[in-house]
């Protein structure tokens, strides 16, 4: 029997389950479905509960990098605060499930508040330790290279590394930050061509990567 939970009521449930645990680990609540921890230079750690089709939610986690820009059209901007943070390098567990449609990572909002809270508790029990282990693999900027290359090589059954437009851009800027400029410029060139970046945005990105 369908008992849909409203978006606002669902947010309260998700906050009640994930919020206390993440706050205890040093994360700040940004919204009822987003928490960010800023304890490493230039690197922010974020956990986000994203909506998915079928009235469900699932957790994703990853890094927001202060030295990486983002763009929309020809406008290039920064995300250097907890509030504006976005995932430059992400881990979405359902991208790597054998059968994403039957994933244990989903929190359903279609079967009443009690069931949604039960789902959230079960998912949080798995997701939070996995996310913390992911975050602990990076202590400073050079550590990100291994995570980027691992994510790039990881077989995906849903979306791959390159389906998320921000990730290859972030990798190029990370290499530039580490003074690997030749590879960084080559990757940016490939990125601009692959994603058909506008002329104005391309020029701005090229200028920014030179001083990253």
For residues 17-43, average pLDDT: 97
Give domain status of residue 2, yes or no.
no
How many angstroms separate the CA atoms of 24 and 52, rounded?
27
Number of domains in the chain: 1
Strand residues in the chain grouped as ranges (E):
28-31, 34-40, 43-52, 56-65, 69-72, 75-78, 89-91, 107-108
Is pLDDT larger for residue 53 or for residue 125?
125
How many angstroms separate the CA atoms of 71 and 129, rounded?
32
Query: What mean pLDDT value characterizes the chain?
Result: 95
Residue 28 has a pLDDT of: 98
Residue 73 has a pLDDT of: 87
pTM, entire model: 0.95
The per-residue pLDDT for range 114-125, each reduced to its tens digit, is 999 999 999 999
Cβ atoms within 10 A of the Cβ of 151, count?
A: 20
* pLDDT beyond 90 at 133: yes
- Region for 42 from its dihedrals, namely left if φ exceeds 0, alpha if ψ lies in -120 to 50, beta otherwise: left
Give domain status of residue 117, yes or no.
yes
Give domain status of residue 1, yes or no.
no
Cβ atoms within 10 A of the Cβ of 78, count?
A: 12
Residue 109's domain spans which residues? 7-210
* pLDDT beyond 80 at 99: no
Residue 118 has a pLDDT of: 97
- What is the residue-wise DSSP string for 92-137? -GGGS-SSGGG-TT-EESSB-HHHHHHHHHHHHHHHHHHHHHHHHT
* pLDDT beyond 80 at 97: no
What is the token pair recorded at 30? 């940004």
Q: How confident is the model at residue 77 (pLDDT cuts 50, 70, 90)?
A: very high
């Amino acid at each position: 029997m369908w008992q849909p939970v409203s978006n606002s009521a669902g947010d309260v449930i998700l906050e009640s389950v994930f919020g206390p645990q993440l706050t205890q680990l040093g994360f700040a609540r940004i919204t009822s479905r987003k928490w960010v921890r800023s304890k490493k230079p230039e690197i922010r750690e974020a956990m986000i509960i994203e909506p998915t089709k079928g009235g469900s939610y699932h957790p994703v986690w990853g890094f927001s990098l202060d030295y990486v820009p983002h763009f929309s059209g020809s406008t290039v901007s920064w995300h250097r605060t907890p509030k504006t943070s976005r995932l430059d390098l992400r881990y979405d567990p359902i991208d790597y499930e054998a059968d994403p449609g039957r994933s244990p990572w989903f929190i359903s909002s279609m079967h009443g508040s009690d069931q949604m809270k039960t789902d959230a508790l079960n998912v949080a029990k798995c997701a939070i330790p996995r996310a913390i282990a992911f975050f602990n693999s990076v202590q400073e900027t050079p550590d990100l290279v291994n995570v980027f290359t691992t994510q790039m090589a990881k077989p995906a059954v849903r979306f791959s590394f390159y389906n998320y437009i921000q990730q290859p851009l972030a990798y190029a800027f990370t290499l530039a930050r580490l003074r690997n400029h030749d590879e960084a410029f080559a990757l940016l060139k490939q990125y601009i061509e692959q994603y058909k970046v506008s002329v104005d945005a391309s020029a701005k990105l090229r200028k920014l990567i030179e001083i990253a």
